[in-house]
Amino acid sequence: MSYYRQFDHFHPLKGTPAAIPIPALGNIVQRARKILPQGTTVKQVIAIAETINWIIDGAVAVASSIADDNYETPPRRGDRSDAQWLQDRIFFYHVDPRPKSDLPGYHQCFAVLALWKIADAHFCIEPEFGRGAHDALEGLPVPEQWAAAANHGIDAMEAVCFAETLHTRFHDERLSKIFKSQQPSSEDIVREKISLRAKQAAIKKHAGNHAARARVIELYRMRDYPSVEAAAQAIAPLVFKAPRTVSKWLYDERKGRTPQLPRVTD
C-alpha cells in the first residue's frame, strides 16, 4: 500500500504495534529503529517515507513503459512488494547518510519502509487507528483483516532484512576506507624499500672507511703525539690512507664529530 500519512497515526520511533496475531511485528520494529541514527525525528521519517514512495511509483512507471514497448501487460504496484520495487530504482539516486539529509543512506530508507509496513499491518489488525489510510478494512471479517496484516508483516520483514544487509555493507565500506587511509600505498612501500636498499648499499660501500677511521682513533689514543699532523704522518701508512684524510679524522675526533659506525642489515 502506498504511503498515506500512516505515521500520523502510528509513531515510527516509539511504542509497539499490536502483538496479536503477529508477535514478530514488535521485533521488526526494534530492528528497523536500531538502524536509524540517534536524533532522527518523526518529521524526517515522514519525509523519507514520502520520498521513497515517489521512487517506488517511478519504478512502477518505468516497468510499465518497458512492458508497453514490448506489447506486454503493464505491471501493477501490488504485483511485487514495495521493498522489491524500491530496490529496483533507489540505487539510481544519490544518497547522503547524514541524519538530516533529504535522502539518507540506502539502509535507512529500507528501515523507514519496514516501519511503514508495520504501520500498515497494525492498522489491519486495529482499523479504527488508521483513519483515512485503511478505511476499506473496516467491516471486513477479522480473518481477512488478519490476512492483510500478515502480508504487510512479510513485506516489513523483507524491508528490514534489506536494511540490515545494506547497513552492514555501509559500515564495512567505511571501515575499509579508514583502513586504507591508514595504510601506506604500494608506491610508498616500493619507495621505502628502494631507499632502504640504497642506504644499505652506501653503508657497505663505506664500511672499509669506517673500520679504518675507528683504527686511526684507536692508534691515536695509544700514545702521545706532538701534534695532529705528526700523528697523521705516523698512522697513515698503518691504515693505508693518505695523511690528509687521517688528519681530518683526528681533528673531527678531537671536536667530538666522529660519527658512530652504522650497522649493516640484510
| pLDDT tens, position by position, 82-140 | 999 999 888 888 766 565 655 678 899 999 999 999 988 888 887 665 555 455 566 67
**How far apart are alpha carbons 156 and 145 in whole angstroms?**
16
| 65: pLDDT strictly greater than 80 | yes
Cell 502506498 found at: 2
The model's pTM: 0.61
Report pLDDT digits (tens) over 137-176: 666 777 888 888 888 889 999 999 999 998 888 777 765 6
- Using CB atoms within 10 A of its CB, is residue 173 exposed (0-12), middle (13-18) or buried (19+)? exposed
Please give the pLDDT value at position 99.
Answer: 54
Taking the domains of the chain in order of start, what are their residue ranges?
6-182, 186-254
Give the list of residues 6+ apart from residue 147 with CB closer than 8 angstroms, or none: none
- Higher-scoring residue by pLDDT: 2, 121: 121
Categorize the per-residue pLDDT at 201 as very low, low, confident or very high, splitting at 50, 70 and 90: low
